[in-house]
Amino acid sequence: MDLGDILSPEQISPEMKASNRWEAIDELIEQLVLSSKIKAEHREAITAVVKKRETSMSTGIGFGIGIPHASTDLIGEVVGALGRSKKGVNFDSLDNQPVSLVVLFLVPQGQFQKHLHTLAKIAKLLHKKEFRQELEGSLDAQSMYGIIKRESGK
């Protein structure tokens, strides 16, 4: 799965308010609820599973990137949300730097290969410096989505 396959403009938050990784996870899960990708009644259970995974080891992989993720039986397909923070989010990253781009994704329970494959594709895409700079400099969710669609197909 490419990032462009699991996002839509409604799942992108170009002005995140979060100051730490826990708030960022809450904010992006709320984005998934608002875009009807997860049911409101599943919000707390999904938040708990993502935070449990994040507690075991930060998904702040460096280069200003955080990729919180988890498996859950409360969804039927891979879903994701992207948040951008202009001020940076404290994510306890490997490089101890604040995170400006956070991609949260969820994979249906039991789809281990799809989970690893999706994580690898997202990380590879976000490691491209020019791609990150374009996302950080774009005006709104729609233009961010256009950049992601263009790059995801490569």
Task: Write the pLDDT tens digit of every residue in 6-21.
Answer: 999 999 999 999 999 9
pLDDT, residue 129, reads: 95
pTM for the full model? 0.95
| Residue-level pLDDT at 1 | 74
pLDDT in tens, 44-79: 999 999 999 999 999 999 999 999 999 999 999 999
Q: Which structure tokens are listed for 55?
A: 């507690």
What is the reported pLDDT for 154?
A: 61
Give the angle 48-11-126 at the CA atoms, nearest 5°. 85
CA-to-CA distance for 53 and 76, rounded, in angstroms? 20
CATH topology of domain 3-152: Mannitol-specific EII; Chain A (3.40.930)
118-138: per-residue pLDDT in tens? 999 999 999 999 999 999 999
What is the arithmetic mean of pLDDT over 82-105? Answer: 95
- Sorted by sequence, the CB contacts under 8 Å of residue 109 that are 6+ apart come out as 71, 72, 73
pLDDT, position 32 = 97
Residue 62 forms beta bridges with which residues? 65
Closest CA to 71 of 29, 39, 114: 114
CA distance 53 to 72: 11
- Determine the pLDDT at residue 2: 85
Boundaries of every domain in the chain: 3-152
* Mean residue pLDDT across the chain: 94
The predicted pLDDT at position 152 comes to 83
